[in-house]
Amino acid sequence: MQKNMADMRRTVQETAQYLEGQYTWSHPDVHRLHGSATSVSIIGQLYGSLVDPNTVWDDLSHKTAEAEVRASAMCAELVGYDPDKALGLFTFGGTGTTLYGIKIGAEKAQPGLFNDGLRQPMRVFASDVAHYAKLSSTAWLGLGSQAAVSVPTTEDNAIDVQALEKSLRSAIAKGERIAAIVVTMGSTDAFGIDDIEAVHALRLKLVQEYKLDYVPHLHADAVIGWAYSVFNDYDFAQNPLEIPDAALNSLKLVRERLRHLSLADSLGIDFHKSGYTPYASSLFLARDAQMLSPIRRDKVAMPYLFQFGEYDPGIYTLECSRSGGPVLAALSNLILLGKDGFRGMLSHCLQMSELMRKKARELPWLTVLNADNHGSVVVIRVYPDNVEADSSYRIERSDAAQKATLQAHNDFNQAVYMRTREMAESGESPVFVQTNRYRDTPYGMPIVGIKFFTLSVFTDPESIDRALDALRKAREYVQRQNALASKN
């Protein structure tokens, strides 16, 4: 049967129906961990579909291969790596970047692993608020998800370096090898930033003290935080972009930790988070290309590829086919925005978050959970009438005798959040996220929070008012429902 234009039009319309209801990421009222993609990055992604380069090898990607090298070098320079030595590979998501980091570390911990398979237990150390990518990676790499050691965090959601030291010593004493220490540079919920400088120094101390025959790999999960590297050389004193004080102070604090990012042996960057591209555009960056040698496949295994040409990343990559779209999307933003463009966008979002924190602090029925963090995310916990939010939270999170109260308030927050979702369906509420476990209490209970991750550059003060107002209305609704239920 012959297909004609009408068939094509119908098909396009039919598939378009599947887009209905999808969030408009650039909308001022969407507060989720995905930035609004710039037009140029969408076009970059589209080039990937139209021309369809495959970055496995330059025979299939031609000059898109160069784009990958260029984007990687730009990012290397941004974070403080030597662009001539560093090597970047775009991969399937932030999870992929962590997978690469741990894989390379595991090869250091057991040379020959790539061909021989695992001969001894290995551990991966990351904080208890690190993304579950650490679990996916250890599980999929065959180390077992139990190989991931969860290290407690301090109140600012950063890894507790003393606790890390204790865990590392215990593993070394048992003869376990360390595949990687993964620091989180911007955690998923709270934007906690690990003290990479201290972790790096700790690693050196332990290598020397125990005379380890390898240096455990230090990987930075910077998929959210990387973009703040644009402030490494910002002139905070002159403040040429006239960033308002509150946001400027937060940025200074963020920079304190992020400026040491280059201490990581490898790191992950997500352009689809704080880099304003469409999903998924993730870059794994190794400080030194040599680190990838242990994961080189023998060319004999790939007789159909790599007979000639100058760029053959497919020799190392997990994937065979890799679209050039994410590379071109990322490069487009790096070129278009430059440091000042990113600074403007990120500082705007941070400004909005600061405004939300300020307004939230004035409301007695909620408390801000991540008060010690400084990214563009605010995690809120709401309370019913007659409960003083700040003090109630302080007590229930530290006193195990308050377990039932904490649970009741967890349920309350879940109900309020679900109500905002219902309201959002009819346009009465902005869109935000619930976290089932902002963090655990010291007595092991999860703390539920409501999270506003502001990454849309169109979010304005009115959007912040709308968000808090929707929360207020949802809370009142749930209280009314609860009152009715207790009468019946």
Ligand X SMILES: Cc1ncc(COP(=O)(O)O)c(C=O)c1O
- Calculate the alpha carbon distances from 163 to 116, 153, 179, 339, 481 in Å: 33, 8, 18, 36, 44
Do 33 and 188 touch, CB atoms closer than 8 A?
A: yes
Q: Is 255 a binder of ligand X (CB under 6 A)?
A: no
Stretch 274-313 residues interacting with ligand X (CB under 6 A) = 280, 282
Stretch touching ligand X by CB under 6 A, among 184-192, 210-218, 251-259, 337-345:
184-192
Question: Which member of 28, 53, 94, 101 binds ligand X (CB under 6 A)?
Answer: 94
Q: Does residue number 223 form part of the binding site for ligand X (CB under 6 A)?
A: yes
Rounded least distance, CB 158 to ligand X, Å: 13
Kindly state whether residue 135 participates in binding ligand X, applying the rule CB under 6 A: no
The nearest distance, CB 183 to ligand X, in angstroms, is 11
165-173: long-range contacts at Cβ-Cβ below 8 A with a sequence spacing of 24 or more?
165/202, 165/206, 167/125, 168/125, 168/202, 168/206, 169/206, 171/123, 171/125, 172/206, 172/210, 172/212
* Least CB distance to ligand X at residue 225 (A): 8
Q: Which is nearer to ligand X, 44 or 384 (CB)?
A: 44
Q: How far apart are CA 64 and CA 328, in angstroms?
A: 7
The residue nearest ligand X at its CB is 94
Q: Could you give the CA distance from residue 349 to residue 256 in angstroms, rounded to a whole number?
A: 19
- Residue from 93, 314, 324, 449 in contact with ligand X (CB under 6 A): 93
Q: 323 - beta bridge partners? A: 54
CB nearer to ligand X: pick between 93 and 384: 93
The CA distance from 75 to 465, in Å, is 36
Q: Give the amino acid at 423.
A: M
- Residue 133 binds ligand X (CB under 6 A): yes
> CA quadruple 33, 39, 44, 50: dihedral positive or negative?
positive
**Minimum distance of ligand X from residue 186's CB (angstroms):** 6
Query: Interface with ligand X includes 71 (CB under 6 A)?
Result: no
Distance CA 382, CA 409 (A): 8
Minimum distance from residue 462 beta carbon to ligand X (Å): 27
To ligand X, the closest distance from the beta carbon of 187 in angstroms equals: 6
Neighbours of 171 (CB within 10 A): 18
Instruction: Tell the smallest beta-carbon distance from residue 145 to ligand X (Å).
Output: 15
Report which of 441, 346, 457, 337 is spatially closest to residue 394, judged by C-alpha positions: 441
Piece in contact with ligand X (CB under 6 A), picked from 180-188, 293-301, 373-381, 458-466: 180-188
44 binds ligand X (CB under 6 A): no
Note whether 224 binds ligand X by CB under 6 A.
yes
Q: Does 95 bind ligand X (CB under 6 A)?
A: yes
Per the CB < 8 A criterion, the answer to whether 258 and 224 are in contact is: no
Residues that bind ligand X (CB under 6 A): 33, 93-95, 131, 133, 184, 187-188, 221, 223-224, 270, 280, 282
